[in-house]
Amino acid sequence: MNKKDINKLISRDAFPNSEKIYIKGEMEGVNVAMRQIKLSPTRNSDDTVEENAPLTVYDTSGPYTDPKIDIDLNKGLAKIRQTWIEDRRGETNQSQMYFARKGIITPEMEYVAIRENQGLSAEQLQKGEKLVTPEFVREEVASGRAIIPANINHPESEPMIIGRNFLTKINANIGNSPVDSSIDKEVEKAVWAYRWGADTIMDLSTGENIHQTREWILRNSPVPVGTVPLYQALEKIKGKSEDLSWEIFRETLIEQAEQGVDYFTIHAGLLWRHIRHTIKRTTGIVSRGGAIMAKWCMFHHQESFLYTHFDEICDIMAKYDIAISLGDALRPGSIADANDRAQFAELETLGELCQRAWDKGVQVMIEGPGHVPMHKIKENMELQEKYCNNAPFYTLGPITTDIAPGYDHITSAIGGAMIGWLGTAMLCYVTPKEHLGLPNKDDVKIGVITYKIAAHVSDLAKGVVGAQVRDNAMSKARFEFRWKDQFCIALDPDTAMQFHDETLPDEGSKQS
């Protein structure tokens, strides 16, 4: 890849009227990046002027939006966690959960505590609200209610936390395919996703150069990176799922662990006996990992090796501090299949595996559906809590109707907002191309912004500390016709400004 070209592809623009600030922690090297938006003063009707304090917001965009930092994708980002990791080298288990249980507050924990507070001061808190403390983060991680995905070989990442008692997070899927393969395009999409708010990304590449694509992404990713190792394992045996084996899978796990992948989706909860529950389904098994493993089980007449070797998988994860994301291989692919026996039988097995991973000191989250109509969403959350003891839930939408291909970012944002409010910790985005094709750069942005909306409205409804501060700043600016400030506070300043400039706004259109 030509060095000059790839560095030109990525967006390095700062956000309008914004400054990158770093809030220092008490521990060595803890400097938490945030975005501070400068606001213009209020002009009162009596011609007096009142200052508006700058607004500090959560920022996933990494060093890319800091003009003071030189970035060369060929070299990768600065390894901000390197010394923290080295200081802990002696331990057999490297996971944040292991340290949390020992009562140790890691620098990662202090980092996420500061980050979650978004620069809030005590005066901005409403009655009954409390700022997040590093000790609270430690407790949540120790109990399994929250995870900090942080592979020791991904020192470039800015720590973040996934758990029901924190800001709702979102994940963006990227990845090349046999149809459309190019490393630079995927890196470009990844940086674009960080910019607009992806808290983690998953690299779901299935085409050529899987290893190399992931290497470029990891070395340049300020957010945790997840993968589905089964996809690469399958490529190694040229797509013949019956040739899969524990050995090939194990080798792939270690290859990706060494590179620095922060969490693995593993469909270990799909048992041989669950498969028969899918026979009468409208849409069978729609999870790719699920379909692969079901085929393997049926061909070999054996229990899935992901299940039989689960303890060994956990031992690998613990060594690198990779979080396990227990995949829902039997998630419903249609409204008709929502909340059926296949889905919930697997969920119960995921709960059992969650406990086994915790016993090994491995951080866990649980993946959830899929296609679910609104009135069936609550049962998903309740059973997940029951079976999985409040391990973070990580759902794909859910999509609330099947009839709107081209708009599934919207059908699923409705479900995502609802399940986020109920306590789901991370929402996996869905782009307008879902069910139709692969997302391009524009689709990635639309998907990310749509999911920032779903996550934020969840936070407002859950009453997360300080969630409403940004809304209040926007509404004040709106009421005072401070247009520039409205654009800067918006999740997507570019689109807001462009739409505004298309028609000259008059009083009527402003007030409707």
Considering only residues 432 to 491 of the shown chain, the ones binding its own copies according to CB under 8 A are 432-438, 440, 449-450, 452-454, 456-458, 460-463, 468, 470-472, 474-476, 478-479, 486-487, 489-491
Helix (H) or strand (E) holding 31, with range, is strand 31-37
- Whichever of 356 and 484 has its CB closer to its own copies, that residue is 484
| Identified binder of its own copies from the candidate list 2, 48, 92, 509, rule CB under 8 A | 509
In the complex, least distance from residue 210 CB atom to its own copies, rounded to whole angstroms: 12
- Whichever of 248 and 404 has its CB closer to its own copies, that residue is 404
Stretch that binds its own copies, among 78-86, 181-189, 347-355, 431-439 (CB under 8 A): 431-439
- Binders of its own copies: how many residues, by CB under 8 A? 88
Please report, for residues 66, 73, 222, 486, the alpha-carbon distance to residue 77 in angstroms, rounded to integers and kept in the order given.
Answer: 12, 7, 8, 32
Token pair for 219: 């070395």
Residues 144-183 that bind its own copies (CB under 8 A): 177-180
In the complex, least distance from residue 12 CB atom to its own copies, rounded to whole angstroms: 23
Angle at 167 between CA 130 and CA 388, to 5 degrees: 105
| Residue 5 amino acid letter | D
Residues 59-78 that bind its own copies (CB under 8 A): none
- Whichever of 107 and 432 has its CB closer to its own copies, that residue is 432
Residues 194-253 that bind its own copies (CB under 8 A): 204, 206
- Whichever of 133 and 440 has its CB closer to its own copies, that residue is 440
- Whichever of 74 and 334 has its CB closer to its own copies, that residue is 334
In the complex, least distance from residue 113 CB atom to its own copies, rounded to whole angstroms: 24
Residues 347-406 that bind its own copies (CB under 8 A): 371, 373-375, 400-406
The interaxial angle of helices 377-388 and 408-421, nearest 10 deg, is: 50
| Identified binder of its own copies from the candidate list 291, 315, 340, 344, rule CB under 8 A | 291
68-88 b/e (C-beta count within 10 Å ≥ 16 → b): eeebebeebbeebbeebbeeb
Token pair for 261: 């992948």
504 interacts with its own copies by CB under 8 A: yes
- Whichever of 2 and 511 has its CB closer to its own copies, that residue is 511
Question: Who contacts 293 (Cβ-Cβ below 8 Å, separation ≥6)?
Answer: 230, 267, 270, 304, 306, 329
| Identified binder of its own copies from the candidate list 36, 334, 355, 389, rule CB under 8 A | 334
Question: Who contacts 157 (Cβ-Cβ below 8 Å, separation ≥6)?
Answer: 81, 150, 151, 221, 222, 223, 224, 225, 262
Residues, the chain:
512
Beta bridge partners of 201: 172, 225
- Whichever of 7 and 334 has its CB closer to its own copies, that residue is 334
